[in-house]
Structure 1
Amino acid sequence: MRSGTRPATADTWWLPRAVVALRVRIFEKANGDRAVTLPNATHGPEVFERVYAHPAANGRSAGAGLSDLFWYWLSPGPEVHQEHLEPGERYEDVAATTRRMLAGTSGELMAQATRAVARTLDTVPDGRISQVRLRDLVMPAWAEFCYELVFREPCPPHARDLITAHADDVISALKCTSLRHPGRRARLTEYVRRRVVAGEVPYPLPRTLSLSEQVHYLQGTMFNTAVVQLSEATAHVLLALARHPEAQQRVMDDSEEDRYLTRVLDETMRLYPLFGIAHRITTDEIPLDEDTVLPPGTVVCFSYPGYHATGYDRPDEFDPDRWATLSVKEAHHIPYGIAANRPCPAWRLSPLVLRAAVREVLRRFRLDSTVPHTRSIPHRAPCLLIPHGMPPAPRRLDALRRRMRARNAVEDVTRGVRQLVLGTVMVLHARRRRLAGRYFEEHPPSGCPAGRGRGPGPPPHVPARR
């Protein structure tokens, strides 16, 4: 979900303009009246970088109407989800636990990812062309991978299925292609609770959290966000390669080195960043320019697609070779956030295991797809898997490609309207429940004035007091 920024992607271009406009308006409304998106026409990437790194851009959920929506999607336990914890002792405690779980040598992590993906691919026939949804294909593999990070043991099938069902339910709700199914989520909660009570997590869990909160932390951080983001990232990289056969061939030819594959990963994460919007709440004034400041309580929406589109030649074109001369550190490229404002805890792990996963897929199959590639991939990335060594069958392949294109076009006819309807229902339900608002009324963040950011307040841009 892009929270009102550039939500009309290529897969919905055909919809009546009134329907698209209504969908945009609904999600803009969820942001509230005290919100500003960066970069924008007035304040470009330099302001984006400065504000994102500002120490006062550190509020996570308290005081933002948008938080009610995200907490609704991420429940149960969004109040202890690592991404949404306010700064302080609880966050530091949780972050330290996550770092311990994600630790490991590069070789160990890549081997673990390869094994998990290989087990999933073993279920795909190797004697014929298969049509799959890439996100659905790899999600069970990443469920197993994350289970092993947490419990340090092989993942049993029933646990894999619980984690996969939960992660799929969360991401489908976030993309508004499905309503939430609390029962699926509750089944995973109960499973994790039993394991925690039995003392079967080989790490000390955050001491600042209650038993119920420890369970929800594991479920939300490790079995939701980690599984979803790895699955989405893998689907994006594989779909990009499926749509660019010359890049796919170069990756396969680059068997001794990962140099070109690293460029593919960088370009995929630039063009299709996993985060659409990261929202923060200001806890003090932040100057935008000489005449304008953001007052405390402002919701700042940092647009990753907007930022990643600045500073490049042909920014809308998929071109891995641009990274032959560009420096990731110097370019407008923050796929895992920025170091000054709580980056993704998997910033080191993700590139390693993604390379391993892509290598394992390409070792077995050639990829082909005719569907459009958008950041949100609500179609879950349909793709043909063509086993290596299979005799050429051009007519069969052409027929399958035409069928895929036609099927996606038919699905597009209903998908946009379904997202509009289901998204509206969930926005309204989330606003009624006010999960974040009610929580912070009862638990004001330390050092934060009670009620900060609530009520109409001043507009987000006010004259600076010099």
Structure 2
Amino acid sequence: MWLTGLLAAAALVLTAPRWLPARVVALRAKVFAKVNGDNAITFPNAQVGPERFQEVYGHPAANGRSRGAALSDLFWYWLSPGAEVHQEHLEAGPRYDDVARTTRALLSGPADELADAAARCAGRVLDELVTGRVTPVRLRDLMVPVWAEYCYELVFGEPCPRAARDLIAGHADDVVTALKCTGLRHPARRERLTRYLARRVAAGDVRRPLPASLSPAERVHYLQGTFFNTAVVQLSEAMAHLLLALAQHPEVADRLRRDPADDRYFAHVLDETLRLYPLFGIAHRITTGEIDLGGGTTFPEGTVLCFSYPDYHAAGHRDPGVFDPDRWARVPARAAHHIPFGVAANRPCPAWRLSPLALRAATAEVLRRFTLHSTVTHTRSLPNRGPCLLVRADGPPPRHLAALGAFLRVRDRWEDVWRSVVQLVLGTVMVLHARRLRLAGRYFETHDTAGCPPGHRPPDHRERAE
């Protein structure tokens, strides 16, 4: 009897990489679903299919950002400090308009200059950090310093010093690690970047005027959240997904390497990467009025609308789980269920123009130097940070490459077991802590619907011009 039990326990342990991570992910999903309570609705669903997804997403009444959603407390917790002035979380109104104008100004510039800066930053970091013939890396970790330097140049208009890059990269890593629930957040680490940016803002070093409707402290937090949190993290995640897809589809990488000037094919590869691995799992909006879709389908004011990018991107595609850039030669992006940068009617990503330019330039720098090889599991959330082997492209592949690939695969499977348990425990801890702090809820108890203190009227941009 004891031998049978021992064998059963051993079988459970040995097969854990196959079954445990999926079970834990499902349990985590249930934990996070309870954060919103009963007033959250996820799309697409039986009532609102993918054909009406963008209609609801872009509805004028689907424009609440943080006020009134329990989920906002969790996102503010992850993004703090300064979530109240983060562009994605500001409520509609003059403050948002002022901030959005500033963001567009800092992201603007000639296409060739934006691309050249990305290539320069990527080349500098790669030459510094990847020096071996065969180098094992975590792609997201490798890309964070690249985009830390790039975003620094966008904001300050000068090359990024190593000390500033380390502050930005440490901050971005802390945010994304907490978001993935693979580690707790460290407010002191984030505060170091806040203090640095405060000194630079006070000295007038930012290359564009900052929003006049924000206080000095809020301007610092605006830069920290929009550029040195979201921009760095999202560009790094996008690049990690793109390079990991190329590592696992060498024929696609070879085609890009042979013809780096083929903008159209790179666009197809990027579209397919962001279709299969969208940077957002769920985007939530709060209704500020009733939405009546007819046929008895009505969403009252205060409803939390959760838009599932993975489900929407999978709908209507043949073999949706297959990485196939050539599908975009057959199906125009405008005709597909595909919104990698959101929808135009509801605050699309302000970097929708810049991101493809920068990602293409950085990808060309990687492919010029290396071939990429990876055998790990590639998922949308990328909690493993993209383990990959970079092999110098100027010589034959090493004989032990297959053995290294087998090691990566086995290590990743077993890491996934431990990581999934860590995500469950730490995710639950942070959900409970965020609910206790109620950062968003408490903020809106003392601010009006636009997020302004009582009696405050943001200056009109025409007044500032005078």
Q: Please give the alpha-carbon distance, in whole angstroms, between the structure 1 residues aligned to 2:248 and 2:144.
A: 21
Deviations 1:29-49 (A, max 9, x none): 112210000101332112211
Match for residue 429 of structure 1 among 421, 433, 447: 433
Deviations 1:269-306 (A, max 9, x none): 00101111110000111124411200000000011111
AA at the equivalent of 1:272: Y
Moved more, 317-326 or 404-413: 404-413
Deviations 1:177-197 (A, max 9, x none): 000000110000000001111
TM-score (norm 2): 0.91
Contact 2:47 2:297 in 1 (8 A): no
Q: How many residues align?
A: 438
1:39 aligned partner: 44
Q: Please give the alpha-carbon distance, in whole angstroms, between the structure 2 residues aligned to 1:447 and 1:232.
A: 30
Q: Please give the alpha-carbon distance, in whole angstroms, between the structure 1 residues aligned to 2:31 and 2:18.
A: 18
- Cα deviation for residue 127 of structure 1 reads 4.8
Q: Residues 239-258 of structure 1: matches in 2 within 5 Å?
A: 239-258=244-263
Deviations 1:5-57 (A, max 9, x none): xxxxxx97521776444322110011221000010133211221111111000
Match for residue 442 of structure 1 among 427, 439, 446: 446
1:370 aligned partner: 375
Q: Residues 213-362 of structure 1: matches in 2 within 5 Å?
A: 213-362=218-367
Does residue 71 in structure 1 map to residue 76 in structure 2? Answer: yes
1:50 aligned partner: 55
Contact 2:90 2:450 in 1 (8 A): no
1:144 aligned partner: 149
AA at the equivalent of 1:83: E
Q: Residues 102-141 of structure 1: matches in 2 within 5 Å?
A: 102-141=107-146
Does residue 419 in structure 1 map to residue 423 in structure 2? Answer: yes
Does residue 384 in structure 1 map to residue 389 in structure 2? Answer: yes
TM-score (norm 1): 0.91
Moved more, 280-289 or 263-272: 280-289
AA at the equivalent of 1:201: V
- Cα deviation for residue 258 of structure 1 reads 2.2
2:7 aligned partner: none
Contact 1:126 1:387 in 2 (8 A): no
Deviations 1:396-441 (A, max 9, x none): 1011111111211221120000000000000000000000000001
Moved more, 21-30 or 361-370: 21-30
Structure 1: stretches of 5+ with no match in the other structure = 1-10, 451-466
Q: Please give the alpha-carbon distance, in whole angstroms, between the structure 2 residues aligned to 1:21 and 1:174.
A: 17
Report the CA distance shift for 1:138/1:125 in structure 2 as closer, same or farther (over 3 A): closer
Q: Please give the alpha-carbon distance, in whole angstroms, between the structure 2 residues aligned to 1:17 and 1:159.
A: 39
Q: Please give the alpha-carbon distance, in whole angstroms, between the structure 2 residues aligned to 1:159 and 1:392.
A: 36
Does residue 401 in structure 1 map to residue 414 in structure 2? Answer: no
Q: Please give the alpha-carbon distance, in whole angstroms, between the structure 2 residues aligned to 1:162 and 1:285.
A: 44
Report the CA distance shift for 1:446/1:227 in structure 2 as closer, same or farther (over 3 A): closer
Q: Please give the alpha-carbon distance, in whole angstroms, between the structure 1 residues aligned to 2:58 and 2:370.
A: 42
2:461 aligned partner: none
Q: Please give the alpha-carbon distance, in whole angstroms, between the structure 2 residues aligned to 1:39 and 1:30.
A: 20
AA at the equivalent of 2:168: I
Q: Please give the alpha-carbon distance, in whole angstroms, between the structure 2 residues aligned to 1:77 and 1:17.
A: 34
Q: Please give the alpha-carbon distance, in whole angstroms, between the structure 2 residues aligned to 1:385 and 1:32.
A: 45
Report the CA distance shift for 1:215/1:361 in structure 2 as closer, same or farther (over 3 A): same
Report the CA distance shift for 1:126/1:190 in structure 2 as closer, same or farther (over 3 A): closer
Contact 1:109 1:352 in 2 (8 A): yes
CA RMSD, Structure 1 to Structure 2 (Å): 1.7
Q: Please give the alpha-carbon distance, in whole angstroms, between the structure 1 residues aligned to 2:393 and 2:25.
A: 42
SS in 2 for 1:202: coil
Report the CA distance shift for 1:41/1:203 in structure 2 as closer, same or farther (over 3 A): same
AA at the equivalent of 1:445: T
Q: Please give the alpha-carbon distance, in whole angstroms, between the structure 2 residues aligned to 1:107 and 1:415.
A: 41
Match for residue 186 of structure 2 among 172, 181, 191: 181
Moved more, 97-106 or 404-413: 404-413
Report the CA distance shift for 1:446/1:390 in structure 2 as closer, same or farther (over 3 A): closer
AA at the equivalent of 1:107: D
Q: Please give the alpha-carbon distance, in whole angstroms, between the structure 1 residues aligned to 2:91 and 2:450.
A: 9
2:217 aligned partner: 212
AA at the equivalent of 2:428: T
- Cα deviation for residue 126 of structure 1 reads 4.7
AA at the equivalent of 1:108: E
1:167 aligned partner: 172
Contact 1:12 1:416 in 2 (8 A): no
Contact 2:369 2:394 in 1 (8 A): no
Report the CA distance shift for 1:446/1:257 in structure 2 as closer, same or farther (over 3 A): closer
SS in 2 for 1:422: helix
Report the CA distance shift for 1:136/1:208 in structure 2 as closer, same or farther (over 3 A): same
- Cα deviation for residue 256 of structure 1 reads 3.2
